[in-house]
Structure 1
Amino acid sequence: MSSAHKNLSVFSTTGLPDISQKKFAIIVAEWNSEITEALFEGAYQTLVDNGAKAENIIRANVPGSFELSFGSQVFAQKPEIAAVIAIGCVIQGETKHNDYINHAVAGGLTEVALKYNKPVIFGVLTPNNQQQALDRAGGIHGNKGDEAAITAIKMLGLQ
């Protein structure tokens, strides 16, 4: 189901694992900061609301979404980090740069997750325009940051 038909901030919390002792890294792209800050706030608050301690949530910034893979790897390799959430936004624009960036980031984050055998969550918006991004960063379609955090928590339940 596309996010145009689903609220990203509505999800089941039944059976979530205890995350009170887990450490999370949230890697935030600075590009499109109006959007990524809202996504970060959503992810952070969802973690706290579901039992994470504020002192166990580490934030790191990277220049843009392309750098999320490396930033995520820096934290995924640390044994104390249980899960990494990568936050970014690549708006389509007039060229095809978004196709290359989004493909590289998705592949890079998957590679990091498999290499370090821990959840590395794709919290990257890939909208066609600024309004679609705003709609998914706390707007009418909820907040992708919320969804990314709950995904990290649920994935920890597999371990």
Structure 2
Amino acid sequence: MEKPPLDGSERFAIVVAEWNRSITAKLLEGALSTLSAAGVADAQIDVAWVPGAWEIPLVAQRFAQCQKYASVISLGAVIRGETSHDQHINRAVSLSLQQIALACDLPMIFGLLTCETMEQAIHRSGGNVGNKGAECAEAALRMVALLKNSPPK
């Protein structure tokens, strides 16, 4: 990926779910590494850990509403169980983040793994499918660059 133009003032927020921490910590590592490689200083990144995916939208909204961030990245892992609980969580979180993005005119990056098995989550958090946290950080960087060059609000 070509490095997007950053002026050093961009701040990024990352909201990470504690639930399935063995997966989400790896997603966070990928996101932080990607932002760092793009020239974003550690001091320009704020990370908030929340109990689970359900709690991501509220904290993401707080980050968005304070108007200090160029983008908010949300990371979590919801793995299918014996009921449809995962589907309700995934749908609610994805729709909430989309609504926040549109209401706040801010890139809200959806990094919630929605996997059938733990094995799938492992593969998507640094395994043979890559690291979706790193991909989310790349998307955040690209969106920030795109919006800097888009028509004014």
Same fold (TM over 0.5): yes
Choose from 70, 73, 92 the match for 2:61.
73
Query: How many residues of Structure 1 are paired with residues of Structure 2 in the alignment?
Result: 147
For residue 9 of structure 2, what is the aligned residue in structure 1? 21
TM (normalized to structure 1)?
0.90
Which runs of 5 or more residues in structure 1 are unaligned?
Answer: 1-12
Which secondary structure does the structure 1 equivalent of 2:70 belong to? strand
Superposed, which structure 2 residues align to 1:79-118 within 5 Å? 79-118=67-106
TM-superposed CA distance for 1:14, in Å, is: 2.3
TM-score normalised per structure 2: 0.93
Closer, same or farther in 2 for the Cα pair 1:72/1:19, shift >3 Å? farther
**What is residue 130 of structure 2 aligned with on the other side?**
142
| Structure 2 gap ranges (5+) | 148-153
Deviation at 1:108, TM superposition (A): 0.4
Which residue of the other structure, out of 45, 51, 56, is the alignment partner of 1:57?
45
Shift in Å at residue 19 of structure 1?
Answer: 5.4
Partner of 1:125: 113
Instruction: Point out 4+ residue stretches in structure 1 off by more than 4 angstroms.
Output: none
> RMSD between aligned alpha carbons?
1.0
